[in-house]
Chain A
Amino acid sequence: MSRGLISPSERATPAIRRTVRAVQTLLLGGLLLAGLGPVLWLAKAAITPTQDTLRTPLAIFPTGVDLTNLVTAWTRVEIGRYFLNTVVIAAGSWLVQLVVATTAGYALAILRPRYGKLVTAVVLGTLFVPSIVLLVPLYLTVVRTGMINTFWAVWLPAGASAFNVVLVQRFFANLPREVLEAARVDGAGPARVFWSVVLPLSRPILGVVSVFAVVASWKDFLWPLLVLPDPAVQPLSVRLPALQRYVELDVFLAALAISSVIPVALFLVFQRLFLQSGALEGAVKG
């Protein structure tokens, strides 16, 4: 393990060691309070009766646990259905983004047609355009084509991510040429090279793109709010603010907790991938 800011000899000094330990304990306490605290509170409130949460929000189960909140939220409030919508929307967006980014990346980085530079430039250009500019015309396109209240209205626009294309294209461009050449000499056509050589070699970047795609889809609010006005097809993010108005508080908090389970679980399982992608975001996103 390489050293950082504080040198080994400084670490050996008792005063510095004590200070470092104290600061790190405070830091851990602060992170637990700010990072984990609200999440744990939500988990607690999800199984606490409304009156307890209203009167003494910070007491831990003053009159016991009420697990029926979760069941009520899932069944009577139909969180199960919105949950499924969210999953279907995320899965479709993921697939469309992966197809667009990998095929385009392959064509632009490896097949390299003469007009490739122009296409790359026009794709990169969209990075400068904030998504708010697209909002009204895209909405009118969706209305005109009859895609309103269908998942296509969310899936297809998700594919137009210049960020993904750039990421994948750069990764493909750095793949070892010899391997691709060898496959070509063995008689593999472009499609075969794409499917059997390029894609298997690109698992790391496909993982990053997948995390971005699923997380972004799960977080998205404004776009699905506009194009999915029918509650039957809405994802959780759109449905939750509406539910707030007519669902009892304890059930509502249970619904919030259920909505957070998948992203938090994904994060705990793929922690390294998330943190890596998070660092990458600063390098490319615009």
Chain B
Amino acid sequence: MAVQSPVRAVAVVPPPPARPRRRRTPVTWVRRGGLTTLLFLVPLLVVFGVFSWAPIVQSVVMSFQRTNLVGPVTFVGLDNFAQVLDDPLLWTAVGNTLWFAVLALVFGYPIPLVAAVLISEVRARRGLFSALAYLPVVVPPVVAVLLWKFFYDASPSGVFNTVLGWAGLGPWQWLQDAGSAMPALVLEATWAAAGGTVIIYLAALAGVPADQYEAAEIDGAGIWRKIWHVTLPRLRGVLLVTFILQIIGTAQVFLEPFLFTGGGPANSTMTILLLIYDYAFASSLGGDYGAATALSIMLAAVLAVLSALYLKATKSWSAS
């Protein structure tokens, strides 16, 4: 299908054909369809202009301003940045976000890979396997979090504590304990996202050429050595892509801490995005928009570097 390598396709848009040089006047421009072309671009220009480009510029400007919806706007230089960097809560949030990212890698990175390799070897009803793996992804995230919040109920008759009870363990405090709250969030996030990664790996696995396996077999390789010497090297590109995607995603985790714990207990699940939200919207006295935009600009700068790496990785991946 033509949509399978969109990243590569952009490079092959042929250059516009050379047009005969003639005097260009507004009339010839309209006659050659210039106006029609522009009309086709109006929806894009309006929607992106108002809801994407302008806010991006405004965000940069606002990070140097002190403003709320009522009072006058004043330029304060780097004060907002200094204020955010001085906030002890910022470093808690950065630490928690990194902790979330590490835990998400430990739980969430190997599981989809193993599942995808196993599913790709299923002969009958492979579709059922991948559909089951993907099912949690289609459960609305808010529903998933609220459902798991009930599963995590700390009483002995909570769903997970009941299961633990069968094994003679528990009851655990799950979300109420500062030590276990973050792992509990990550567990739910992994459950909700793993299926998407499985599907990406399955597509990549389908692209491993059979003759490479055959060549390895002629050299006497067993199943493990084929995985190590053929499968994994072929997946290197996509593994890098999912790795960077996951880092970019976890750096912006919001829904889980917001709905599960609200950042608690004792700020143990306060993340960067939650802090930005709190700066801007949590106070009923009017938001500290300067601090919120300053922090989001700093986060964006870090993520932009990661995105650039990501783009480079997808390019080399689809070129291979």
Interface residues of A (CB under 8 A from B): 1-7, 10, 16, 20, 23-24, 27-28, 31-32, 34-36, 38-39, 41-42, 54-58, 96, 99-100, 103-104, 106-109, 111-114, 116, 119, 122-123, 126-130, 132-141, 143, 156-157, 159-160, 162, 165-167, 169-171, 173-174, 189-191, 194, 204-205, 208, 215, 218-219, 221-222, 226, 236-237, 240-241, 244, 249, 253, 256, 259-260, 263-264, 266-267, 271, 274-276, 278-286
Contacts and interface: CB of A to CB of B under 8 A. Distances in A.
Given A111-B40, A204-B3, 20 more contacts: A3-B210, A10-B223, A23-B118, A39-B136, A55-B157, A56-B157, A106-B40, A107-B41, A130-B299, A133-B55, A133-B297, A156-B51, A174-B2, A190-B40, A240-B142, A267-B138, A279-B199, A280-B3, A283-B5, A286-B311
A91 to B, nearest CB: 16
Contacts of B146: 240-241, 244, 256
A211 to B, nearest CB: 10
5 contacts: A4-B205, A5-B213, A42-B147, A55-B157, A222-B255
A10 B123 CA distance: 14
Contact of B47 (A41, A140, A156, A253): A156
A281 B200 contact: yes
Interface of A is mostly: helix
A167 B132 contact: no
A103 B140 contact: no
B2 A171 contact: yes
Nearest to B305: A128
A208 B3 contact: yes
Contact of B140 (A56, A253, A259, A280): A259
B92 interface: no
Contacts of A282: 196-197, 199-200, 203, 238, 241-242, 245
B6 A166 contact: yes
B259 interface: yes
B315 to A, nearest CB: 11
Contact of B50 (A23, A112, A141, A204): A141
Interface in B2-53: 2-7, 9-10, 12-13, 16, 33-34, 36-38, 40-45, 47-48, 50-53
B140 A236 contact: yes
B85 interface: no
B226 A253 contact: no
Contact of B44 (A113, A119, A171, A204): A119
A104 B117 CA distance: 39
A133 B210 CA distance: 45
Contact of B43 (A100, A143, A256): A100
Contacts of A58: 159, 162-163
B42 to A, nearest CB: 8
Contacts of B127: 271
B231 A136 contact: no
B266 interface: no
B184 interface: no
Given A106-B40, A190-B40, A133 B300 contact: yes
Given A58-B163, A170-B6, A126 B300 contact: no
B289 interface: yes
Residue of A38, A123, A221, A260 with most partner-chain B CB within 10 A: A38
B70 to A, nearest CB: 12
Contact of B223 (A6, A54, A283): A6
A229 to B, nearest CB: 10
A111 B36 contact: yes
Contact of A135 (B47, B132, B203, B276): B276
Contact of B58 (A108, A137, A166, A281): A137
A103 B40 contact: yes
Nearest to A256: B143
